């Protein structure tokens, strides 16, 4: 969408709006073509672009790594095999350093999270007008390509990790052990009456801490990626202010893109590391 034909606020709003599918006010189902229609669709609406790009990049990850594994040789590795082995070794070192239990799911989970989130974050380096402009040529009004700028995606991943954490907490410690962690710490007492008094206080503190894990996990990734995308959009607006400002914007965009490579990698690493830590906490008994 050209920034010369619309205002800056309209340009920003357009690039930050998801392609949404849901039920319209008249009862029929379809894509939304305005912010008002998106609001009418309510909670049950689906962000089609988030679903498409996250599934596409997840499939790309599976295909590339499967092909590298299938073509792996014992001799001199190819460039792709060497890259995949480096990633796998990096993940293994991270798991060994943060996970003290024994669970064959943790390493593959960490690998999937790191590569998948990195690929979704990497889409932030695609010029902001390229894919939305191509989508408009095909009659698609909205198209957000960075799935991690959608809180639905980050919360979905965080909730998945939260469910796994609860599952292994109950499996390893049992219902009694898990409830003991929520009610018998951090405040302890040998006096039975005092212990009963501390139970609701402990539960409140531990429950808040438990719920805060998926919330902080999702909001951290969403907030950093959303801010990075916003900066790219603001830089893109500068191209419409003349040749001099356009040249300055080009240099600024390059500098921010180079710096953003660190951000997208760091955010994928943090999400993966916290997942490993949470799984380790679920396997350790206090």
Give every strand in the sheet of 20-23, ordered side by side.
29-31, 20-23, 46-47
Tokens found for residue 202: 């402990």
**220 carries an active-site annotation:** yes
Residue 229 to residue 215: CA distance in whole angstroms: 21
Residue 33 to residue 111: CA distance in whole angstroms: 37
Q: Which residues partner with 29 through β-bridges? A: 23
CA atoms within 13 A on the CB side of 66: 6
- Pick out the chain residues at pLDDT < 70: 1-5, 286
Query: Cβ of 204: how many Cβ atoms within 10 Å?
Result: 12
Q: What is the pLDDT of residue 286?
A: 63
**98 carries an active-site annotation:** no
> The whole model's pTM is what?
0.89
Q: What is the pLDDT of residue 214?
A: 92
Selecting among 23, 220, 240, 284, the annotated active-site residue is 220
Q: What is the pLDDT of residue 5?
A: 63
**224 carries an active-site annotation:** yes
Selecting among 94, 98, 121, 224, the annotated active-site residue is 224
């Amino acid at each position: 969408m050209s920034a010369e034909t619309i205002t800056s606020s309209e340009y920003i709003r357009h690039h930050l709006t998801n392609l949404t599918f849901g039920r319209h006010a008249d009862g029929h189902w379809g894509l939304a073509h305005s912010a008002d229609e998106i609001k009418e669709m309510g909670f049950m609406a689906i962000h089609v672009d988030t679903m498409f790009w996250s599934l596409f990049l997840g499939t790309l990850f599976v295909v590339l790594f499967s092909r590298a594994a299938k073509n792996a040789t014992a001799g001199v590795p190819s460039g792709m095999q060497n890259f995949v082995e480096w990633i796998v070794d990096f993940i293994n070192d991270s798991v060994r350093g943060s996970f003290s239990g024994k669970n064959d799911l943790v390493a593959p989970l960490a690998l999937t999270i790191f590569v998948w989130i990195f690929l979704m974050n990497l889409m932030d380096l695609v010029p902001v007008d390229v894919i939305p402009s191509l989508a408009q040529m095909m009659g698609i009004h909205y198209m957000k390509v960075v799935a991690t700028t959608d809180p639905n995606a980050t919360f979905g991943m965080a909730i998945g990790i939260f469910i796994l954490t609860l599952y292994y907490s109950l499996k390893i410690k049992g219902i009694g052990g898990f409830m003991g962690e929520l009610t018998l710490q951090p405040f302890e007492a040998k006096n039975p009456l005092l212990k009963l008094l501390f139970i609701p206080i402990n539960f409140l503190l531990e429950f808040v801490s438990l719920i805060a894990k998926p919330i902080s996990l999702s909001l951290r990734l969403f907030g950093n990626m959303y801010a990075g995308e916003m900066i790219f959009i603001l830089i893109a607006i500068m191209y419409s202010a003349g040749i001099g400002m356009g040249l300055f914007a080009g240099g600024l965009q390059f500098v921010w893109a180079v710096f953003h490579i660190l951000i997208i990698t760091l955010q994928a690493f943090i999400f993966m590391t916290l997942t490993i830590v949470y799984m380790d906490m679920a396997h350790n008994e206090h």
